[in-house]
C-alpha cells in the first residue's frame, strides 16, 4: 500500500511525526569529521525504503537532521547513515557509538525512479557527500545488475583523504558491474594519489556518454551547472537527467517550508527531481 501521508511510493507507515528507535551496531570515522553508522531497527523490523529516500535522525535535547539512506533496500536487516559534524545536532550524533540508539523518522520523500531506470543505461555523477545518498542506488544496481544496461559511476572529492566508502572504491575499481571513474580536485605528495586530478567534469573525457543514458547527479550546488554543460555536449536531454537535492530540509514532511523551491517542496516532491521539472526554477540549482 502506498504511503498515506505524502503520496510517495513507500510502504505505508503509521505516523511520519513519530520517530522510531534505531540501534547502532557499528561506527567508523571515514574522515576526520565524517562518521559512518550501521543501524538496525530496535524493534527488529525489516528495513523498507526506496533508494534516494531520506531519514530524519534525532537525539533528545539536541534536535533533528535530514540524512540520505546510504544503503539499498536490498540490504534488508540493517541500514547505514553517514553524518558530517557541522552543527550542534550532527556533532551530538557523531558522539554515539555501537550499542547506543538514535531516533529516526523514515522513509521520507520520493527516491530514485527505479521504474524509469530499469532496462536503461544508467550513469551516476556524485560529488563530495553526494556519494552517500547515491550509494543507495549504486548498491541497488550492483545487487540487481541484470535489470540495468550499462552502469557508469563518476565520483569526485576535494582530495584523496575526503574520498568516502574506501572499501567500496576498491571493489568498484575492479568490478565488471560498473564503469567507475574517480577524481580529486587536488592532492599533495604525501597523498600518493595516482588517479585523475581535476574537477568532476574532467572525467567526461574518459567515458562515452550517449544521449539515451539516464543520468543522476548529486553533489554541491556549484557542480550541477558544469555537469549539465557537459551533458548538453553529449546531447543528453533534460528529461533523462535526475537531480538529488538534499538541502535546507527541516521537518521532512511538507510543513515548515524550509526546503521550498518555488512551488516544490524538496522533502515531499523530492529530494529526487527530474531536471526538466526544475530547469525553469531560479532557486533550484
Ligand atoms: S522540510 Fe519542512 S517543508 Fe520540507
The string of pLDDT tens digits covering residues 140-193 is 999 999 999 999 999 999 999 999 999 999 999 999 999 999 999 998 888 889
Ligand 1 center to 252 CA (angstroms): 5
Please write the tens of the pLDDT for every residue from 226-262.
Answer: 999 999 999 999 999 999 987 778 888 888 999 998 8
Give the pLDDT score at 114: 96
Please identify, by atom number, the ligand 1 atom nearest to the C-alpha of residue 268.
4
Q: Judge whether 263 lies within some domain.
A: no
Query: Are 98 and 188 in the same domain?
Result: no
* pLDDT tens profile 50-68: 999 999 999 999 999 999 9
Domain match, 196 and 166 both: yes
Q: Region 126-145: what's the mean pLDDT?
A: 97
Per-residue pLDDT at 188: 86
Higher pLDDT, 46 or 215: 215
Kindly state whether residues 129 and 104 are assigned to the same domain.
no
Residue 266 domain flag: no
If you measure from the C-alpha of residue 20 to the centroid of ligand 1, how many angstroms do you get, rounded to a whole number? 19
Atom of ligand 1 nearest to the CA of 250: 1
Average pLDDT, the chain: 91
Number of structural domains, the chain? 2
* 127 in the same domain as 101: no
Ligand 1, closest atom to CA 254? 3
Give 47's pLDDT tier (boundaries 50, 70, 90).
confident
Cα distances (angstroms) measured from residue 121 to each of 91, 153, 200, 209, 220: 39, 11, 20, 9, 24
Asked if residue 118 and residue 89 are part of one domain, the reply reads: no
Atom of ligand 1 nearest to the CA of 256: 2
Residue 278 lies in a domain: no
| Residue of 54, 255, 262 to mutate, ligand 1, most atoms within 8 A of C-beta | 255
Task: Give the pLDDT score at 2.
Answer: 46
User: Ligand 1: which residues within 6 Å by Cβ?
Assistant: 249-252, 254-259, 265-267
Which pLDDT score, from 0 to 100, does residue 4 have? 44
The values of phi and psi at residue 2, to 5°, are -75, 155
Distance from the CA of 248 to the center of ligand 1, in angstroms? 8
Tell me the pLDDT band of 16, cut-offs 50, 70 and 90: confident
136 and 212 within one domain: yes
Residue 277 Cα to ligand 1 midpoint, Å, equals 19
Q: Closest ligand 1 atom to the C-alpha of 266?
A: 4
Domain CATH code at residue 222: 3.40.50.80
Q: Give the residue from 229, 244, 259 where a domain finishes.
A: 244
Mutate to test the pocket of ligand 1, among 105, 265, 269, 273 (most ligand atoms within 8 A of CB): 265
pTM above 0.85, yes or no: yes
Query: Average pLDDT for residues 1-17, to the nearest whole number?
Result: 55
| Whether residue 283 has pLDDT greater than 70 | no
CA of 12 to the centre of ligand 1 (A): 20
Residues of the domain holding 202: 114-244
Least confident of 3-12, 105-114, 163-172: 3-12
Question: 24 CA distance to ligand 1 centroid (A)?
Answer: 26
Amino acid at each position: 500500500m502506498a504511503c498515506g501521508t505524502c503520496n510517495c511510493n513507500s510502504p505505508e507507515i503509521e505516523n511520519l511525526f513519530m520517530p522510531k528507535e534505531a540501534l547502532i551496531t557499528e561506527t567508523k570515522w571515514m574522515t576526520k569529521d565524517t562518521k559512518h553508522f550501521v543501524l538496525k531497527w530496535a524493534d527488529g523490523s525489516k528495513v523498507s525504503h526506496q533508494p534516494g529516500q531520506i531519514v530524519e535522525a534525532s537525539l533528545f535535547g539536541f534536535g533533528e537532521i535530514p540524512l540520505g539512506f546510504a544503503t539499498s533496500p536490498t540490504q534488508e536487516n540493517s541500514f547505514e547513515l553517514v553524518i558530517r559534524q557541522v552543527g550542534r545536532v550532527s556533532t551530538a550524533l557523531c558522539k554515539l557509538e555501537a550499542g547506543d540508539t538514535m531516533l529516526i523518522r523514515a522513509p521520507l520523500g520520493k527516491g530514485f525512479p527505479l521504474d524509469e531506470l530499469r532496462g536503461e543505461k544508467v550513469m551516476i555523477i556524485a560529488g563530495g557527500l553526494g556519494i552517500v545518498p547515491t550509494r543507495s542506488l549504486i548498491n541497488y544496481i550492483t545487487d540487481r545488475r541484470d535489470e540495468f544496461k550499462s552502469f557508469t559511476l563518476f565520483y569526485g572529492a576535494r582530495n584523496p583523504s575526503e574520498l568516502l566508502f574506501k572499501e567500496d572504491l576498491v571493489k568498484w575499481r575492479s568490478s565488471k558491474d560498473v564503469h567507475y571513474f574517480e577524481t580529486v580536485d587536488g592532492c599533495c605528495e604525501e597523498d600518493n594519489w595516482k588517479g585523475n586530478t581535476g574537477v568532476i567534469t574532467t572525467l567526461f573525457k574518459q567515458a562515452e556518454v550517449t544521449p539515451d543514458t539516464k543520468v543522476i547527479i548529486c553533489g554541491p550546488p556549484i557542480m550541477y551547472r558544469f555537469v549539465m554543460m557537459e551533458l548538453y555536449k553529449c546531447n543528453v536531454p533534460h528529461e533523462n537527467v535526475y537531480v538529488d537535492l538534499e538541502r535546507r530540509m527541516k521537518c521532512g514532511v511538507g510543513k515548515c517550508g524550509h526546503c521550498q523551491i518555488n512551488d516544490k517542496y524538496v522533502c515531499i516532491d523530492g529530494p529526487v527531481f527530474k531536471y526538466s521539472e526544475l530547469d525553469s526554477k531560479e532557486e533550484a540549482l
